[in-house]
Amino acid sequence: MTSFNIPPDHPRAESLRTRERLIEQYLEGIVAASGLIAHGRGEAFDYMLGEKTSRPALEATKAAAAMLLTAKNPVISVNGNTAALAAQEVVRLANVTEAKVEVNLFYRSLEREMAIRKLLEKAGARKVLGIGKEASARIPELSSERRRVDPRGIMTADVVLVPLEDGDRTEALVRMDKKVIAVDLNPLSRTAQTATITIVDNIVRATPKLVQTAEMLKKQGVEKCNEILRKFDNKKNLAESIALMNKKLLKLAEKRTLPKSERE
Ligand code: PTJ
């Protein structure tokens, strides 16, 4: 535990609690040092979204749930930040969509893999793939440590959920004809732009909604899922998220500009 006491009435208490969680999990060896920086980048984009789940994000969440439910071999890829911020939701999502859970790290070490497995098991995971020598398959044309994957998991998956990702692997997975679902607050990132479905939302908000939506859609059946997928357009959805951020910035800029009478 870190010693910092967050005042409950602090206007940014929730955001500070998330930061503390990441720092704690960094000290536990779950989160990579770079994971703290990556989160800061995410926060900046979240600010532009008003730190709320947007309508396009909800639509993408619905499509993502439909894609996971209709997949033959769905896999949820877990890195340090995802484990720290959403371990329980990952396990719940895996249960409802019958997806496998695989640890896949950019800053790979056996210690971190085992610490993340332990955290996931504590959250209820029955089987966690991709640890150590189990990640014996290789994603072609990818040089980062993320290329090592489990032959029972990501290597043979048809749909891979990659929350908080770096762009290279998403591109490589798409080249392998896999469908990729990304959760990324930055709609401009390579991951966001390359994924089949991109949820532009904070993983803290997105994963409980994804679980809820999957539970609801599971009851409605495959036809409903297929219909949602037919109607979903990721490029359009991304453009809507960017437009939303733009609108928010313009609104803020407007408040700070000269009165109308003094403008050119
Ligand atoms: O645990 P490891 O070793 O696999 O490393 C994980 C990190 C995140 C360090 C690694 O994948 C990395 O360097 O990622 P990037 O390239 O910095 O990309 C992370 C993306 O996630 C950025 O586009 C951020 O805007 C976004 N992001 C950060 N925090 C959140 C987020 N998106 C959703 N929710 C967040 N909380």
At residue 253 the predicted structure's pLDDT band, cuts being 50, 70 and 90, is confident
Q: Is the pLDDT score of 256 beyond 80?
A: no
**pLDDT score for 2:** 60
Q: Please compute the mean of the pLDDT values over residues 36-56 and round it to a whole number.
A: 95
Report which of residues 259 and 183 the model is more confident about.
183
In short, whether 202's Cβ falls inside 6 Å of ligand 1 is yes
Q: Give the pLDDT of residue 126.
A: 95
15-19, 218-222, 237-241: least confidently modelled range:
15-19
- How far apart are alpha carbons 6 and 35 in whole angstroms? 21
Mean confidence (pLDDT) of the chain:
93
Rounded CA gap, 210 and 63, in Å? 10
What is the pLDDT at residue 257? 66
Strands 100-103 and 74-78: parallel
Local structure of residue 246 (DSSP, 8 states): H
pLDDT in tens, 192-221: 999 999 999 999 999 999 999 999 999 999
Handedness of CA 168, 169, 173, 176 (dihedral sign): positive
Does the pLDDT at position 1 exceed 70? no
- For the CA of 202, the nearest atom of ligand 1: 34
Q: Is the pLDDT of residue 145 over 90?
A: no
Ligand 1 pocket mutation, candidates 37, 81, 102, criterion most atoms within 8 A of CB: 81
- Predicted local confidence at residue 228, as pLDDT: 98
pTM: 0.94
pLDDT for residue 136 is more than 90: yes
DSSP label of 132? G
8 A C-beta contact, residue 203 and residue 163: yes
- Cβ–Cβ < 8 Å for 210, 64: yes
pLDDT score of 259 more than 90: no
Does 10 sit in the ligand 1 pocket, CB within 6 Å? Answer: no
For residue 3, the model assigns a pLDDT of 62
Specify the pairing of strand 74-78 against strand 159-163. Answer: parallel
**Chain segment 63-118, per-residue pLDDT in tens:** 999 999 999 999 999 999 999 999 999 999 999 999 999 999 999 999 999 999 99
- Phi-psi map region of 141: left, alpha, beta (phi>0 left; psi -120 to 50 alpha): left
Looking at the predicted structure, is the pLDDT value of residue 260 above 70? no
Ligand 1 atom 17 nearest Cα = 38
Centroid of ligand 1 to alpha carbon of 254 (angstroms): 31
Closest CA to 198 of 18, 138, 206: 206
Q: Which residues of 39-66 are buried (b: 16+ CB within 10 A; e: fewer)?
A: beebbebbebbeeebbebbebbbbbbbb
Q: Is the model more confident about 263 or about 238?
A: 238
Ramachandran quadrant class, 65 (left: phi over 0; alpha: psi -120 to 50; beta: rest): alpha
The whole-number pLDDT of residue 255 equals: 76
Q: Please tell me if the CB atom of residue 82 comes closer than 6 angstroms to any atom of ligand 1.
A: no
Q: Which band of pLDDT confidence, cut at 50, 70 and 90, is reported for residue 148?
A: very high
Which atom, in ligand 1's list, is nearest to the CA of 146?
A: 4
